[in-house]
Amino acid sequence: MRNKVFLLVMAAFLMLPTVVKAEAGPEWLKKAVFYQIYPSSYMDSDANGIGDLPGITSKLDYLQSLGITALWLNPIYVSGWQDGGYDVIDFYKVDPRFGTNTDLVNLAEALHQRGMKLCLDLVAGHTSDKNEWFLQSKSGKDLRYSDYYIWTNEITDAEKEQIKRRYEAPDPSASTIGRFVEANAPRAKYYEKNFYESQPALNYGYANPDPNHPWEQPVTAPGPKATRQELKNIMEFWFSKGVDGFRVDLASSLVKNDPDKKEVSKLWQEMRQWRDQNFPDRALIAEWFNPEQSLPAGFDIDFYRIGGRGASAINLFRLNTTNTYGGGNMPKAYFDRAGQGEVKGFVAAFDKTYTNTREVGYLSLPTGNHDSERISQEPRTMQDLKVAMTFLLTLPGAPFIYYGDEIGMKQQFGLPSKEGSNARSGCRTPMQWADNETAGFSTVSVDKLYLPVATENGTITVEAEEKDPNSLLNYVKGLLKLRSQSEALNNDGTWNYVGNTEQPYPMVYRRSSDYEDYIVTLNPSGKKVKTTINAQGASTATVVYSTGKGAYKIQPKGKGDIITLDPCSAIIVKLTGCQQCDDKR
């Protein structure tokens, strides 16, 4: 702190531009390894085919043995189940399908006894249209919740056209098209939605209210201020029950007409200050997908988005480059045996974001999530997934493992939409524990399962993989153990790309701390590769973790070090006696 004051004074004196960085977040984030659970699909303890909180609590031995330190649960609140729990009817109550508030407290306590943490999903931007706030708001002006939502009698012709198009969709209730919903309510004709029709947007105000649109309230108006207070109340309610943090759904979208995100950033800075003063050890994780905005706005962690649309997009994992997720032709995936991917674009983009944010918070490149295809799709094998996991679990920032990715659970295609999932059903199937018809997830008959399981004759299950020393599960466990024991490989260790970006395979980067240096090398391609890197003259190089064969050879000073990797392999090398670490000591 004293250093920071000194630097600021010096900068002011020298008239240098200075960036005031946010204070560090909770200490436990330095070593946090998150695990995301879609609660309907993790473990069913009451034989109704749907997962629940006591089910999760019964699996903590497993999660601890894997090396997990924190959970993030998708929404567990009373919901209308039109969007997998993201349409909340009561923010202060656990949905009966998952148990009770007491079950949630019990889960938090059981986690805390193991030194683990519990984070929930905060659906900050909208509610269900069955939420009592909305029902009241719909019924008239000047009531307590009237201005929690955005109502208007006038919308443009283009906006009316969007409503029409939504009604032409096969299932309008699960279509995101358009901005307004025609409600013809006593309050007004239309309300603004966020995602589906059943998800009316909460009113946090407009950054630049249009004087011709009287329904666009400034962020300081009483309605938006009350909504903001409600958000704090929700967080405080669950913090006081032992919850350790929130992943905030659609965090960047709360304030409307805020193109540069200035007003929504101010909102989160206010929340951050409040958090720091009252609950300094609780974490704020953004679903913003722009760490350069979200971390200075006060979040501790944000997700780093790879990919995007169009031919110039970076593609690490997407094998089907023409499917709907990609939105068109994408470049070939980097993690593919075909070996036709590029690494240049990823390195440039990641390096920029990482460099700009590393002192403000953590970024995370998750293994998957409840909205995306799992990386385990055909023809990827367990060997390919080991290489991919080596990458995802040796990056700086906080790792997030999506449930089931640690055992290589497959993306399932062609499933029906479930509770508003559309194509997302394929990554929300029940966790596969054991070799039986329901994969040990539930005792109901198969036809009553939340979604089908696909264990491939019991091979893709926790039970089978625990027994197999060469399984993906045991590989991931070992990787997380190595990460937890090393400062350099942990969340705060620095990251530098040291490979040749013109030669995409292998990918080579260095992770360092004051006292340790590691080189991570990855060859997802189906060909043997060899490259020379400048690792600044270490005296010894030891392979400490690998998927199979590979070698790291130190050459006499100045000549660079030689790496050779077998097809589809990864090695992690520990360097000692190198110039860089000696300088630091």
Q: What are the tokens at 13?
A: 């004196």
- The nearest distance, CB 370 to ligand GLC, in angstroms, is 6
Cα(160)–Cα(181) distance, rounded to whole angstroms? 9
Q: For ligand GLC, which is the closer residue by CB, 199 or 357?
A: 199
Question: What minimum distance in Å lies between the beta carbon of 515 and ligand GLC?
Answer: 39
Residues 83, 103, 300, 384: which binds ligand GLC (CB under 6 A)? 83
With a CB cutoff of 8 Å and minimum separation 6, the contacts of 508 are 497, 498, 499, 519, 520, 521, 522, 531, 533, 563
Nearer to ligand GLC, 36 or 471 (CB): 36
What phi, psi does 273 have (nearest 5°)?
-60, -45
Q: Which is nearer to ligand GLC, 108 or 248 (CB)?
A: 248
Closer Cβ to ligand GLC, 267 or 519, answer by number: 267
Q: Which amino acid is at 39?
A: P
User: What is the x/- site pattern for ligand GLC, positions 413-452, by CB under 6 A?
Assistant: ----------------------------------------
Q: How far is the CB of 84 from ligand GLC (least distance, A)?
A: 6
Residue 528 DSSP symbol: -
Nearer to ligand GLC, 84 or 245 (CB): 84
Which of residues 82 and 461 has its CB atom nearest to ligand GLC in the complex? 82
Q: Pick the closer one to ligand GLC by CB: 304 or 391.
A: 304
Under the criterion CB under 6 A, does residue 195 sit at the interface with ligand GLC?
yes
Q: How far is the CB of 308 from ligand GLC (least distance, A)?
A: 16
Give the integer Cα–Cα distance in Å for 330 and 362: 28
Site residues (CB under 6 A) for ligand GLC, limited to 239-278: 249-250
Q: Which stretch binds ligand GLC (CB under 6 A): 80-88, 110-118, 467-475, 543-551?
A: 80-88
Q: Quick one: which H or E segment has residue 110? A: helix 101-113
CB of 102 to ligand GLC, least distance (A): 27
> In this structure, are residues 487 and 513 in contact, taking their beta carbons and an 8 Å threshold?
yes
Evaluated on CA atoms 266, 271, 276, 280, the torsion sign reads negative
Cα(577)–Cα(340) distance, integer angstroms = 36
- Nearest CA to 273 out of 252, 294, 292, 299 is that of 299
Alpha helices in 140-261 (DSSP H): 157-168, 222-239
Binding status of residue 405 toward ligand GLC by CB under 6 A: no
Task: Give the bridge partners for 77, in sequence order.
Answer: 94
- Report if residue 193 touches ligand GLC, rule: CB under 6 A: no
Closest approach of ligand GLC to the CB of residue 71, in Å: 16
Amino acid present at 101: N
Residue 407 contacts residue 454 (beta carbons within 8 Å)? no
| Interface stretch with ligand GLC, choices 81-89, 152-160, 221-229, 566-574 (CB under 6 A) | 81-89
Minimum Å gap between C-beta 176 and ligand GLC is 8
d(CA 333, CA 325): 14
DSSP element (H, E) containing 89: strand 88-94
User: What is the rounded distance in angstroms from the CA atom of residue 414 to the CA atom of residue 501?
Assistant: 38
Closest by Cα among 149, 250, 255 to 202: 149
Interface positions, 356-375, toward ligand GLC (CB under 6 A)? 370-371
Nearer to ligand GLC among residue 198 and residue 523 (C-beta): 198
Say which residue the tokens 């943490």 belong to: 117
Measured from the CB of residue 427, what is the shortest distance to ligand GLC in angstroms? 11
Residue with Cβ nearer ligand GLC (124 or 330): 124
Stretch that binds ligand GLC, among 83-91, 103-111, 232-240, 346-354 (CB under 6 A): 83-91
Q: Contact letters (x/-) for ligand GLC, 284-313, by CB under 6 A? A: ---x--------------------------
Give the pair of three-digit tokens for residue 370.
Answer: 């409840």
Please, what is the minimum distance in Å from the beta carbon of residue 106 to ligand GLC? Answer: 26
Specify whether the CB–CB gap between 67 and 81 falls below 8 A: no
* Cβ proximity to ligand GLC, 44 vs 287, nearer residue: 287
Size of the site for ligand GLC (CB under 6 A): 9
Secondary structure class of 285 (helix, strand, coil): strand
**Of the candidates 294, 302, 330, 337, the residue with the CA atom closest to the CA atom of residue 314:** 330
Within 86-105, the residues that bind ligand GLC by CB under 6 A are 86
Q: Which residues of the chain form contacts with ligand GLC (CB under 6 A)?
A: 83-84, 86, 195, 249-250, 287, 370-371
